[in-house]
Amino acid sequence: MMLYVLAGCCFVFGLVLGSFLNVVIYRVPRDLSIVTPPSACPKCSRPIRAWENIPLISYFLILRGRCAGCGTRISIQYPLVEFVTGALFAVVALRFGLSFETIVYLVYTAMLIALSVIDLQTKLLPNVIVLPGLLGACLLSFGTLYPPFQQYWSITPAGAFLGIVVGGVPLLLLSWGYLKLTGREGMGGGDIKLMFFTGALLGPVNAFLTLFIGSLTGSVIGITYMKMKKAERHVQIPFGPFLSFGAWIAMMFGHDMIQWYLAYMGLVH
């Protein structure tokens, strides 16, 4: 029962944080402060009142999808980000319960959501989000050198380093090779730094799973998109959302996936 109460609280907290993530998604790529000024309509600059900023409720019941000042339609992105954040927060809470891991993974989930939407809109993964995440993941790993902290976190400095190598180096080499062969940039630096961050946080095994899942889903959806849109072969498709999806799945179910695979291969019983 307490687990469901925790999940419910995390869902509500996720809705509220999702509203803030929308601010991050809009302002960070534009080099604007995420603190000031208060939120306002980008069209008419009318300040958004407190009751117009209630997650989901304001969009659907109060504003009905339009600015109260100028009537401009508000993007469905806003309630969608709020709902997805709340839903994923609830799933993380159900999976890891009341634990230190839950706190870390909630922060990581929020960062992945913001990065995914920003990448879809701008084809950028801002350093101001990715690099502090990488630093935080490294600090967590060094915390395991203090024995009492090992009960809260398991990725050691060696594990973080291997995760960085497994997650980021293949993309780095792929990017370098593609540039040398074609003269065009094939892999953004933000994707590589995101995998450095993911590898440091989740370790080498989950970094590998992230690459595998992200590459698989990215290839399938990318090829399907190009065929449907009849796009050119060299069209740029943001890879960050697929890496983020792979990272979240690896974070949540990586251990179970590896155990299933080993059992399927007859390596464990």
95-137 pLDDT per residue, tens? 999 999 999 999 999 999 999 999 999 999 999 999 999 999 9
Domain boundaries, the chain: 144-269
Percent of the chain with pLDDT over 70: 97
User: Span 246-268, mean pLDDT?
Assistant: 90
**41 neighbors 70 (Cβ within 8 angstroms):** yes
163-201 pLDDT, tens per residue? Answer: 999 999 999 998 888 777 877 776 778 999 999 999 999
Pull the structure tokens for residue 225.
């998109």
Q: What is the pLDDT of residue 40?
A: 87
Mean pLDDT across the chain: 92
User: Confidence class of residue 269 from pLDDT cuts 50, 70 and 90?
Assistant: low
Quote the pTM value: 0.94
User: Span 25-44, mean pLDDT?
Assistant: 91
**85 neighbors 110 (Cβ within 8 angstroms):** yes
